[in-house]
Amino acid sequence: MELVIENLSKTYSNGVEALKKINLTIGQGMFGLLGPNGAGKSTLMRIIATLQEADDNSSITLGDIDVLKQKEEVRKLLGYLPQEFGVYPKIEAGRLLTHLAVLKGITNRDERNDIVNALLQKTNLWTSRNKALGSFSGGMKQRFGIAQALLANPKLIIVDEPTAGLDPAERSRFLNLLSEVGENTVVILSTHIVEDVKELCTDMAIINMGQVLYKGEPSHALEEMEGRIWKKRVNKTELDVYKKEYTVLSVRLIAGTPEIHVLSEKQPDSSFQKTPTGLEDVYFAQISGGAKKTMAYK
């Protein structure tokens, strides 16, 4: 089953164009949607999740289903974990998940109990099933969010900024869980954390200001820019000079000293060192517009 998005646009009543003729085809597996805050990722996710209307002449299909017109059919196949996932703090995890299963249409008690218990085990929440959700850590709440998203065996799962605010251990657990569920399902991971996409996704898109800048495999994106990234440590007072003279993709402090990554077809000068391309370099090159002449849009 494929999710096919064609000519998708969204203009709000105040005139802001959140999405501008988005075209994407997303197959089974983990698909990463990268972009800065305000790029249009959440708007795109909400439209796919049938929570928001698109502009006229937009089209989204999931297999044979018209997502924009057959919303009830989409919801039967959808698991959704929004960026802001609220819980009832005084209700036990197992009890709330059971209630949500009823709302999903799982009416047989034995079947429902089996599904709820299996999901609590899968998300490593079994030992906490009788604890109130208000006592859960951020990572536990996110894992509960995935548990509710997996009810009724969805064919499409959307997760919006799922690892923001998680500590490294919880982030690792969450990403491993996402990787498992993404093997036979269309999973869209919307994030601004480049490492999440690098570790999980076989396909990705980079969007900014409501437009698709790049669509392709992360490995292919890295190959296209290999040999074009150069690094150098510079004085803080020199940063503005280098930014004017070169395509500086990123600046990070190494032991208090700025290290710049520069995009260039050849070594800028002998003081620069070639460095392996990272997906973060690809991301910043696209967002800044510096990659237009060095990478092809697929």
φ, ψ of residue 228 to 5 degrees: the values are -115, 5
- Are the CB atoms for 120 and 101 separated by under 8 Å? no
List CB contacts of 53: < 8 A, sequence separation 6 or more. 47, 68
- pTM for this model (two decimals): 0.86
- Are the CB atoms for 123 and 175 separated by under 8 Å? no
What per-residue confidence (pLDDT) applies to 11? Answer: 96
- The list of the chain residues with pLDDT below 50 reads 293-298
Compute the mean pLDDT over every residue in the chain, rounded to the nearest whole number.
90
What per-residue confidence (pLDDT) applies to 177? Answer: 81
d(CA 19, CA 39): 9
d(CA 43, CA 101): 27
What per-residue confidence (pLDDT) applies to 298? Answer: 33
Q: Is 108 left (phi over 0), alpha (psi -120 to 50) or beta?
A: beta
- Are the CB atoms for 62 and 74 separated by under 8 Å? yes
What per-residue confidence (pLDDT) applies to 296? Answer: 36
Determine how β-strand 273-274 pairs with β-strand 229-233: antiparallel
What per-residue confidence (pLDDT) applies to 200? Answer: 86
How far apart, in Å, do the first and last CA atoms of the chain sit?
Answer: 21
**How many secondary structure helices (H) and strands (E) does the chain include?**
10, 14
What per-residue confidence (pLDDT) applies to 293? Answer: 43
List CB contacts of 123: < 8 A, sequence separation 6 or more. 143, 144, 146, 147, 177
Residue corresponding to tokens 């009543």: 13
Give me 49's structure tokens: 């999740």
List CB contacts of 150: < 8 A, sequence separation 6 or more. 79, 119, 122, 157, 181
What per-residue confidence (pLDDT) applies to 294? Answer: 44
